[in-house]
Structure 1
Amino acid sequence: DPSLTVEENPPGRGRGSSVSLLVGYLIGLSHIDPLQYNLSLERFLPDDVMNNVPDIDLDFPRSIREELILRTHRKWGWECAVLAGTIVTYRIRGVVRDLGKALGLPLTDIDRLAKQLHWGSARHLESEMAKAPGFQEKMVLPGWRDLVALAPELDAFPRCMGQHPGGMVISSSPLTDIVPVQRGAIKGRYVCQWDKDSIDDAGFVKIDFLALGTLSQLQEAAGVIKERTGKRLDMSRINFDDPAVYDMLGSGDTIGIFQVESSAQMQTVTRLHPRNLTDMAHEVGAVRPGVGANNGVQEYLARRSKRKPVTYDTPLEQRALERTLGVVLFQDQVNQLAIDVAGFTASEADRMRRAFGKRHNTELINHYHRRFMEGAAARGVPEEAAETVFKKFNGQYMFPESHAFAFGVTAYQSAWLKYYYPLEFFLGLFNQQPMGFYNLETLKEDAKRHGVRVLNPDINLSRATCVIEEMGNSGHFKRIGESPAMMQTKSPLIPLYERGKKQPSIIPEEAEIHERVNGVKNNGSIRLGFCQVHGLGKASAEAIEKARRKGPFTNVGDFLERSGVLEEVALNLASAGAFDSIETNRRKVKWEIGLRYRPVNSQLALPLPVEQDIPELSSPGVWETMRGEYSIMGLYPSGHVMAKMRPKLGSQFQCSYQIAKLPDGARVTAAGLVIRRQRPHGKMVFMTLEDEFGLIPLMVFPKTYEKFEYRFRSAFIAVNGRVILREGTRNVVVTGVQSFNIMNKVPKSKNWQ
């Protein structure tokens, strides 16, 4: 908004060191007062080494960041402002493709093997091939045998130079006098051939311009709210102590909410029950690999709920760990422990922390271990206690405390928006994909649970991106901005039937269950955009909108003639239901497209009627319609695949909302679409199934997963197991699994190892 100052409406916001800087708060880079929350800058700028400046990390909406990088190049010149480089190293799939090609193995086999492999270390290639169908017997053949033998040697070996997503090095003197600079793969960008560690060693000034999809979402939602209400929403001045928002978070209703939407975060937030921004920082910081490596999450939650007392292995820990109940949650605390327990200097403590994250660091860690034990002994710490403290250090990632506070604020703002403005929240979420943990189908289902309908694209109503439509009193849809009415709904994710409604004995129709569960009717809708349709890009969407300015399309021929889109695009629009408002029979629409379409630059067709050439075609059935929409858009706006599958399942299969009522230890048989797989630290496998009523969290023990691994990789699975309740969380421990296939193209799961 050009009418506002940068301080009033900053284009981005800080994370990390800039949140610890008082000046960052005063100029609007951060919404956190570092004095109020006692945030330290020492992790970024040790007091014994003041000759370097800390890295400044700034998050921007995606639309701003790209232009910002180019403007920085232009303002300072490519000799003085360049992007940091990265060193891309080999992992298992890259090794298979490059080494396999060098060994002369068939390219089709290489590609097929690479697609079957999990992302990870190339050292596991032999065990992965032993499980891959069609490749077990190849392991002893010439060429393939060499691939298996040589793969571990290439693991983590440098593969090529890349570019940092936004790390900008800025210098007052030409960087080309110090480090090689090359053109980037993206036009207008320049990259130096040093990575961030070398840049840090050289003492360069580095500012990270980072793109954060959530900021794009918040920016778009705020703009739509202003358009609909006439009032500007200042997210920095909302109520950060709103109990209703915290109640929603504590219930686990966090799909689409920044930093707290993963299954692990859902399991944690329902036990932590945050009530303020400090709790939000702890929530965001707790679910990190470095915290989980020492069972820190469980320990912190046990102490927070007073099931365990707050204890310290030595009184010297208290200063560093008191605010997190004696548990290490943040990088800053690792440094402070080394300072207080072993007498390290601030810079030495930070070097030790960084050493844990380096490869081939055994000798380096042994050096710091000796130094730590000697320093602790000099301070009177018993050897056993010192060893226990040192074991709390690891090379897994943790947030700095200021970083956690920055993300905690953004997470709360996202939750506040979802609670008070769900329509605009989901609009921004749909338009800013890809982002987050879930596919569009899962987001659509969550929107339904919040009273927000998702409508198919329409050639006369859609735009390039999604838009809001509201149902007026007349029953006709109103366009965006015609009504300021806001919907309000309090709809927790799991205990949906707790709102004074008796659980039915039979499964009602899907539309009925969604309305009954939420207690609200659809009073706002999102119309899917043209760009949600496969094969339809920005240029085609703009062509359709431009043609529509002369009036709405009246029939298929009118659309083809005025829009000029390709036949494939028109057919995909038909599969997506975009012609339903003028012809409900999609088979008939596709037939007519085939009759009327003429390629560009071909002879124009005479405007003759074609109705006589269209045979009597029956309308497609529900399954054909559903398959077409999943294939073309990745979602089925009017329902869910499991709702159509439910009649084919036996009576022993339970729905997600029924499982949410079962007691601890109850036996479960369930089926659904896999939307997530996660295996932290290579241990327990966590998965999430989705059915037409909600989500089913699964836990799979390693032996069970290894036994049925290829079944678990299927898009649809049926599982047997038992319910396990722990501290307010609910999971199904899987004991058996069967895979089944309904459709070839389904929403893809999000998998993290």
Structure 2
Amino acid sequence: MYLNCKTYFSFRYGTFATEELVKAATQIGVTAMALTNINSTCDIWDFVQFCRQQGIKPITGAEIRNDGQLLYILIAAGNKGLYWINELLSTHLQNGKPFPEQAKEQPFFTDPKDGYVIYPLGTKAPEQLFVNERIGVLPSEVNKLYSIDLKLTADKWIIRQPVSFQNKTYYNVHRLLRAIDKNVLLSKLSTADYCSADEYFMPPDKLLDAFRQYPFIVTNTYKLMDNCSIEMDFKTDKNKKIFSSTKEDDRILLKKLTADGFAFRYGKNKLAAERVAKELKIIDELGFNAYFLITWDIIRYAQSRGFYHVGRGSGANSIVAYCLQITDVDPIELDLYFERFLNPHRTSPPDFDIDFSWLDRDEVIDYVFKRYGKKQVALLGMYSTFQYRAVVRELGKVFGLPKEEIDQLAAGGNADDKIQQQILRYGRLIENFPNHLSIHPGGMLIAEESIYEYATVFMPPKGFPTVQMDMFVAENIGLYKLDILSQRGLGHIKESLRLIKENQGVDINIHDFKKFKTDKRVNDQIKRVQTIGCFYIESPAMRQLLKKLECDDYITLVAASSIIRPGVASSGMMKAYIERYHDPENIDYIHPVMKELLQETFGVMVFQEDVIKVAHHFAGLDMGEADILRRAMSGKYRGNQEMMRIKEKWFLNCRERNYPENITAEVWRQIESFGGYSFSKAHSASFAVESYQSLYLKTYYPKEFMVAVINNFGGFYSRELYFLELRKTGATIHAPCVNKSEYYTHITGNDVYTGFIHIKSFQEEVVQQLLEERNKNGLFLHLQDFIERTNITKEQLNMLVSIGAFRFTGKKKKQLLWEANFLQKKNMTHVPAASSLFADAPFKFQLPAFVDDPLDDLYDELESLDFTLGNPFDLVNDDPHKYHLAKDLPANLNKIVTTLIYFIDYKVVTTIRQERMSFGTFLDVNLDWVDTVHFPESLKNYPIKGRGFYKVTGKVVSDFGVYNIEVHKLYKIGYKERKYANL
């Protein structure tokens, strides 16, 4: 009877969580029910599984709406029917087409036996219904049946009892969600925009009583439900199973490709050969040959297009992946734990995260769609959820609160009246509801069968088909993602190689990693923490960690890449690691077994492999259970009950092994601290490889490297910091010039010309027009020539004059602005260059002798670019040299100093007492780093107020050779007053 149930995956409509819906049905004795979310099949498989657990027969379907108007409900009679529903939804959602209002010439579904269509009463005449169509009657609509002759169409009527919310409270939640969705005040919400107040689990006896005069309608409803079923084997792998023609061919091909790669990677190495044979055997036994070959195929395509990649994830533990050039991490060198990558208990294939430049990734994704078929391939979806503060803001608007009140509530202020109290109450209820569909950062599904067997596909703005399914549901049914990701760091490397080739004529083999990791200059760069612009090792926290470790080698950098993760840091184990790293002879291991397992990392669990080893060898969990622990701590596991079972077994096993309770509890605490924030060793090693590649380029080609970082608009810091770092390389940085600059920043010799893209509000089409005209007809001769040839608008022209783009003329900016204004008024039209060259001489102007103040130029740069191209301290209204500098801090340890510094960044954290404190990152006048610590009292009394200059007084402290200032006082210092004198 409950053939029209919804969860909160009817976005901004339903209020039930999926499991909650099923449990609520169980409580009233429901034995069969259908999930029909609005234009959505997001949680179909979770629903099926939860129903099976509760002994309920699951029925699948969807409620079809156009712009909120209910058209009909589609019910799948079986898996073929669900396929058809997914395909219908996908076709219309991808193309943005409205759904047909009803079936006309022929029935919906390929075969009418595959499913049912239920129309609301009054939308289609009973005598017009096809064989598989029904009319659903609400309990509140029974009285409308009195005037209808039901004899001829008696088999076409069924009960329709929608279920959208739990109770009166959640009915209010539903109405609030609808107001949020419609972006209207609650009082302005139309009754057509929300459901009726009886769309809850009406008890079965009450439903039957409502239709007591129409027993055939009850019979029809039960008959329909009896004719429906759905099958799903959750335990089978549904990824593409064959790459070539047969499974045996796949095995032979993978073995051959691995052998070819082995010769390249190792030559002759008995230990490596033994591991290759072991891996190939298990890969074949577990049915993962095709998975490796597909990944290899994607890499092969990328290499053929000249795309650079980094392979990481647990698959980087694999020597087969290393031989196939999927990764550049040597598992023999790093003694990578084979069982982390693959073990006989593991049912899912290893994780391959393949990073490409942000410029190349979409082409790689497009190749996968074309190579493996659009019906078999889709991007993986995910759900954006309502976060509490955002919900409070939305509810504030729905209730019509003024912005000031909304801001105060969202910031955690007290609720002063009944409405504000309601907002906070309902905000807590809505928190973590799915808000809308989104895209997983990199996951792709490549299925053996059509994606429509499992999910609906929609088309997000990204432009690639994406499933209405997140990674948890996908993995639960046996579809395992392949991550094809993008990152700016690879863009830095690719652009660097291009610029180095163009500017210096040098070709670099960026894959020559063995050379990079042993290069003394590169390792010295790490030790001196000269890492700005380098992937993963440029943040303040990472730079401080590298300094504390005095890191100057690859192995230490691999560990540092994982130690910096929040789980290790927050548990206190990062501090312990640093201490033990510097004093390895005096380590007090918590237990002899832990020494045996973790001697390489000084008794500290640093990598995910460490947890697997400890769980298996210390606590006696089998490898399958250890892998569940690994997945739980990496945020990829969703079964809390299973985790509780494993935790109980952990403590039980440890008691049986007679470990002291305090040691057992402490080791478990360390494992729990990883909580979603740790890396596998191979993953960290992959990051370290890329860091070394960036470091090599930064060390030997610093100018080109920093230009590449600037052109990729990606990194930890703002563009300003990277221009300052470029300045430190000795490059001569020029403001944009109409005759020298390009759209992006470029380098010629030692000269760097800032790209037009950095000029705020300067239109891209104007840049393209400028460049096309210059490339076609030569350099611009003077201002008049530029205006005639480009026909640029006054506003856009003034931007170029202000930034100094016409300095080649030798004229002052103020003079150029006067001339530009006059020439624009003359309504100059576009003149071909050939005509312009032989035209009369340009207008001559009788103007006063203007003077350009250097301070004005700095302000012009600040206004046009958001930063200056020179030292920012040229603008400060104080003398920075009379204060302590960064280089003075070691000599003033534990003393109070005052310094004048320029803001770069800061990070706010919450203390154990739930107070806010922060860590600041600044520069001194020499552009050297000054790091600050702002404890809660200091931060409260002297808050950091954004970018600019600060005079800071505080105590110099040191932690493993890293110097910071504990801030006691902080004052913002102003800029020099701009001079507007014209003569």
TM-score, normalised with respect to structure 2: 0.63
The answer for the alignment partner of 1:180 in structure 2 is 456
Structure 1 CA distance for aligned equivalents of residues 567 and 636 of structure 2: 14
Structure 1 or 2, whichever has the larger Rg, is 2
Q: Select the structure with the greater relative contact order (CA < 8 A; seq sep ≥ 6).
A: 1
Task: String of CA shifts for 1:228-261, please: whole Å, max 9, x gaps.
Answer: 4444210121332112211121112111121111
Question: Which amino acid is the alignment partner of residue 463 of structure 1?
Answer: E
The answer for the alignment partner of 1:408 in structure 2 is 688
Which of 706, 729, 736 lines up with 1:450 in the alignment? 729
The answer for the alignment partner of 1:570 in structure 2 is 797
Is residue 2:941 matched to residue 1:644? no
Which of 931, 937, 940 lines up with 1:706 in the alignment? 940
Distance 1:619 1:71, change over 3 A: farther
The answer for the alignment partner of 1:670 in structure 2 is 899
**The residue matched to 1:733 in structure 2 has which SS?**
strand
The answer for the alignment partner of 1:34 in structure 2 is 331
Matched-pair contact (CA < 8 Å) for 1:423–1:525: no
Structure 1 CA distance for aligned equivalents of residues 651 and 807 of structure 2: 74
1:79-228 maps to which residues of 2 (within 5 A)? 79-91=375-387, 94-106=390-402, 109=404, 113=407, 128-130=411-413, 140=416, 143-187=419-463, 189-228=464-503
Is residue 2:739 matched to residue 1:460? yes
**The residue matched to 1:388 in structure 2 has which SS?**
helix
Question: Which amino acid is the alignment partner of residue 666 of structure 2?
Answer: T
Structure 1 CA distance for aligned equivalents of residues 752 and 831 of structure 2: 37
The answer for the alignment partner of 1:398 in structure 2 is 678
**The residue matched to 1:597 in structure 2 has which SS?**
helix
Structure 2 CA distance for aligned equivalents of residues 553 and 696 of structure 1: 45
Which of 287, 292, 308 lines up with 2:569 in the alignment? 292
Matched-pair contact (CA < 8 Å) for 1:166–1:208: yes
Matched-pair contact (CA < 8 Å) for 2:576–2:604: yes
Distance 1:385 1:57, change over 3 A: same
Structure 2 CA distance for aligned equivalents of residues 197 and 4 of structure 1: 29
Task: String of CA shifts for 1:173-197, please: whole Å, max 9, x gaps.
Answer: 101111121112223x111111122
711-720 or 461-470, which moves further after superposition? 711-720
The answer for the alignment partner of 1:625 in structure 2 is 857
Distance 1:662 1:18, change over 3 A: same
Question: Which amino acid is the alignment partner of residue 818 of structure 2?
Answer: W
Structure 2 CA distance for aligned equivalents of residues 278 and 656 of structure 1: 30
The answer for the alignment partner of 2:759 in structure 1 is 533
Deviation at 1:152, TM superposition (A): 3.9
Deviation at 1:146, TM superposition (A): 4.1
**The residue matched to 1:271 in structure 2 has which SS?**
helix
**The residue matched to 2:340 in structure 1 has which SS?**
coil
Structure 2 CA distance for aligned equivalents of residues 290 and 616 of structure 1: 67
Structure 2 CA distance for aligned equivalents of residues 337 and 436 of structure 1: 36
Question: Which amino acid is the alignment partner of residue 891 of structure 2?
Answer: L
Structure 2 CA distance for aligned equivalents of residues 571 and 241 of structure 1: 52
The answer for the alignment partner of 1:491 in structure 2 is none
Count residues in correspondence.
664
Question: Which amino acid is the alignment partner of residue 214 of structure 1?
Answer: G
Distance 1:162 1:721, change over 3 A: same
Question: Which amino acid is the alignment partner of residue 719 of structure 1?
Answer: V
**The residue matched to 1:48 in structure 2 has which SS?**
coil
Matched-pair contact (CA < 8 Å) for 1:169–1:204: yes
The answer for the alignment partner of 1:473 in structure 2 is none
**The residue matched to 1:63 in structure 2 has which SS?**
coil
Task: String of CA shifts for 1:654-707, please: whole Å, max 9, x gaps.
Answer: 3334x4453211222223332111134556521112233122110111232234
The answer for the alignment partner of 1:370 in structure 2 is 648
Matched-pair contact (CA < 8 Å) for 2:315–2:341: no
Distance 1:584 1:66, change over 3 A: farther
Distance 1:578 1:176, change over 3 A: same
552-561 or 226-235, which moves further after superposition? 226-235
Deviation at 1:651, TM superposition (A): 7.3
**The residue matched to 1:42 in structure 2 has which SS?**
helix
**The residue matched to 1:692 in structure 2 has which SS?**
coil
Distance 1:576 1:308, change over 3 A: farther
Percent of residue pairs bearing the same amino acid type: 24
Question: Which amino acid is the alignment partner of residue 894 of structure 2?
Answer: G
Structure 1 CA distance for aligned equivalents of residues 696 and 666 of structure 2: 41
Structure 1 CA distance for aligned equivalents of residues 385 and 910 of structure 2: 20
Is residue 2:313 matched to residue 1:16? yes
Structure 2 CA distance for aligned equivalents of residues 744 and 380 of structure 1: 74
Structure 2 CA distance for aligned equivalents of residues 203 and 600 of structure 1: 68
**The residue matched to 1:140 in structure 2 has which SS?**
coil
12-21 or 561-570, which moves further after superposition? 561-570
Matched-pair contact (CA < 8 Å) for 2:886–2:924: yes
435-444 or 402-411, which moves further after superposition? 435-444
Task: String of CA shifts for 1:539-588, please: whole Å, max 9, x gaps.
Answer: 33222111112121112222122234443332222222212222442233
Distance 1:277 1:92, change over 3 A: same
Is residue 2:779 matched to residue 1:552? yes
The answer for the alignment partner of 2:954 in structure 1 is 721
The answer for the alignment partner of 1:47 in structure 2 is 344
Distance 1:44 1:563, change over 3 A: farther
1:272-287 maps to which residues of 2 (within 5 A)? 272-287=549-564
Distance 1:7 1:190, change over 3 A: closer
* Runs of 4 or more consecutive aligned structure 1 residues displaced over 6 Å after TM superposition: 2-5, 7-10, 358-364, 598-610
Which of 950, 961, 966 lines up with 1:733 in the alignment? 966
| Cα RMSD, aligned residues only | 3.3
Deviation at 1:457, TM superposition (A): 1.1
**The residue matched to 1:735 in structure 2 has which SS?**
strand
**The residue matched to 1:239 in structure 2 has which SS?**
helix
Consecutive unaligned residues in structure 1, runs of 5 or more: 114-124, 131-135, 471-523, 746-753
Distance 1:3 1:36, change over 3 A: closer
536-545 or 413-422, which moves further after superposition? 536-545
Is residue 2:647 matched to residue 1:418? no
Distance 1:689 1:89, change over 3 A: same
Task: String of CA shifts for 1:97-139, please: whole Å, max 9, x gaps.
Answer: 4222222234x5589x4xxxxxxxxxxx758355xxxxx8xx5
Consecutive unaligned residues in structure 2, runs of 5 or more: 1-298, 979-983
The answer for the alignment partner of 1:477 in structure 2 is none
610-619 or 578-587, which moves further after superposition? 610-619
Is residue 2:611 matched to residue 1:381? no
Question: Which amino acid is the alignment partner of residue 962 of structure 2?
Answer: T
The answer for the alignment partner of 1:73 in structure 2 is 369
**The residue matched to 2:355 in structure 1 has which SS?**
strand
The answer for the alignment partner of 1:133 in structure 2 is none
Matched-pair contact (CA < 8 Å) for 2:311–2:352: yes
1:293-372 maps to which residues of 2 (within 5 A)? 293-306=570-583, 309-355=586-632, 357=635, 366-372=644-650
Deviation at 1:291, TM superposition (A): 0.8
Structure 2 CA distance for aligned equivalents of residues 702 and 5 of structure 1: 50
Task: String of CA shifts for 1:420-476, please: whole Å, max 9, x gaps.
Answer: 11121112111111x111112212222222222322111101111111122xxxxxx
The answer for the alignment partner of 2:748 in structure 1 is 469
Structure 2 CA distance for aligned equivalents of residues 29 and 604 of structure 1: 55
Matched-pair contact (CA < 8 Å) for 1:627–1:743: no
